[in-house]
Amino acid sequence: MKKLRLIGQSVQTLFSLKIRYFLLLCFFLAGFQSQVFAQDYTTTGNSTNWNDAAAWDCSGGGCNNNPFPDNNVSNSTITINHDINYTSNPPINLGNRAILEVNGATFTNLSNLNINSSSAIFRTSNAIVSIGPGVMNVDGPVQIINSVVTKDGNVVNNQEINVNNACFTLDSGNFNNYGIFSGTGGVKVLSGNINNFGTWSTDILYYYSNNGSGLPGTLSTIEEVDETCACALSNVGNTAPVLNTEAPTSFCEGEPLPELNADYITSYIPNTTGIKLTWSSNPDPLVIEDHLTGPVPGPGTYYGFFYDADNNCASPTVAVMITVDPLPIVTVENEAGCVGEDVTFSANVTNSDPGTTYSYQWYLGEILIPTETSNSLTVAGVTLDMDASSYKVVVTNDSNQCRSEQVSATLTVNPLPLVSVADQEVCAIGTGDPVSDGNATFAASINNGSPTDTYSYQWYFNDVLIPGATSDTYLVSGATSEQNNGVYKVMVTNDATGCISEASGTLTVNNCDIECVYNCDGKTNGKLSPALLELANTYPTLPADYELIYRINQNGTPTDFTDDTVIVEITVNIGEYSQFLTDLGTRGINETDFESDYRVSDGLRKVTVPVLILPQTGEEISDLLFLNDEVDDYVDPLDYGGPYAWNRVDEPAVTTNNFVITQGDLAQGSRFAKVGWEIPTAYDADGNPTAKKKLDGSGYDIAVISDSYGNIATSSGTELPTVNVLQDLSGGGSDEGRAMLEIIHDVAPGADLHFRTGF
Q: Are residues 428 and 486 in the same domain?
A: yes
> Could you tell me the maximum CA-CA distance found in the chain, to the nearest angstrom?
199
Confidence band of 308 (pLDDT split at 50, 70, 90): confident
Q: Are residues 536 and 640 in the same domain?
A: yes
Q: Is 659 helix (H, G, I), strand (E, B) or coil?
A: strand
- Contact between 538 and 558 under an 8 Å Cβ cutoff? The reply is no
Q: What is the mean pLDDT of the chain?
A: 78
Best CA proximity match to 317, nearest among 349, 279, 262, 289: 279
Distance CA 756, CA 704 (A): 7
Q: Are residues 472 and 485 in the same domain?
A: yes
Q: Are residues 17 and 79 in the same domain?
A: yes
Q: Are residues 60 and 203 in the same domain?
A: yes
* Residues with Cβ within 8 Å of residue 370, at least 6 apart in sequence: none
Question: For helices 622-634 and 577-585, what crossing angle results, to 10°?
Answer: 160
Give 702 or 427, the one with higher predicted confidence.
702
Domain end, chosen from 414, 446, 462, is at: 414
Distance CA 693, CA 77 (A): 145
Domain end, chosen from 262, 290, 325, is at: 325
Q: Are residues 519 and 506 in the same domain?
A: no
- Contact between 698 and 721 under an 8 Å Cβ cutoff? The reply is no
Residue 258 counted as domain residue: yes
Q: Is 235 helix (H, G, I), strand (E, B) or coil?
A: coil
- Contacts of 718-721 with C-beta under 8 Å, sequence gap 24+, read 718/661, 718/742, 719/654, 719/662, 719/665, 719/666, 719/671, 719/745, 720/745, 720/753, 721/745, 721/753
What CATH number has the domain bearing residue 341? 2.60.40.10
> So what's the pLDDT on residue 719?
64
Least confident of 11-15, 502-506, 704-708, 752-756: 11-15
pLDDT above 50 (res 283): yes
Residue 311 counted as domain residue: yes
> So what's the pLDDT on residue 512?
67
Give 116 or 747, the one with higher predicted confidence.
116
> So what's the pLDDT on residue 580?
64
Residue percentage of the chain with pLDDT more than 70: 69
Residue 667 counted as domain residue: no
Residue 456 counted as domain residue: yes
pLDDT digits (tens, 9 = 90+) for 560-603: 444 444 444 455 555 566 666 676 666 566 665 554 443 322 22
> So what's the pLDDT on residue 482?
73
pLDDT digits (tens, 9 = 90+) for 642-688: 222 333 333 344 444 444 444 444 444 344 344 445 556 677 777 67
Q: What is the distance in angstroms between the CA of the first residue and the CA of the last residue of the chain?
A: 160
Residue 661 counted as domain residue: no
Give 239 or 322, the one with higher predicted confidence.
322
Residue 602 counted as domain residue: yes
- Contact between 413 and 387 under an 8 Å Cβ cutoff? The reply is yes
Most confident of 15-24, 34-43, 284-293, 698-707: 284-293
pLDDT digits (tens, 9 = 90+) for 627-644: 444 444 444 333 322 222
> So what's the pLDDT on residue 229?
81
Q: Are residues 271 and 317 in the same domain?
A: yes
Q: Are residues 408 and 441 in the same domain?
A: no
Q: Are residues 706 and 588 in the same domain?
A: no
Residue percentage of the chain with pLDDT more than 90: 53
Residue 358 counted as domain residue: yes
- Contact between 438 and 480 under an 8 Å Cβ cutoff? The reply is yes
**Domain span holding position 176:** 4-230
> So what's the pLDDT on residue 434?
64
> So what's the pLDDT on residue 430?
74
pLDDT digits (tens, 9 = 90+) for 678-703: 556 677 777 677 776 666 677 788 99
Distance CA 722, CA 545 (A): 27
Q: Are residues 83 and 149 in the same domain?
A: yes
Best CA proximity match to 1, nearest among 133, 143, 126: 126
Give 710 or 517, the one with higher predicted confidence.
710
**Tally of domains within the chain:** 6
> So what's the pLDDT on residue 505?
97
Domain end, chosen from 487, 510, 533, is at: 510
**pTM of this structure:** 0.47
**DSSP assignment of 81-114:** -S-EEE--SSPEEE-TT-EEEEESSEEEESS-EE
Residue 645 one-letter amino acid = A
Q: Are residues 337 and 449 in the same domain?
A: no
Residue 666 counted as domain residue: no
Q: Are residues 501 and 534 in the same domain?
A: no
Where b means 16+ CB within 10 Å and e means fewer, 242-257 reads ebbeeeebebbeeeee
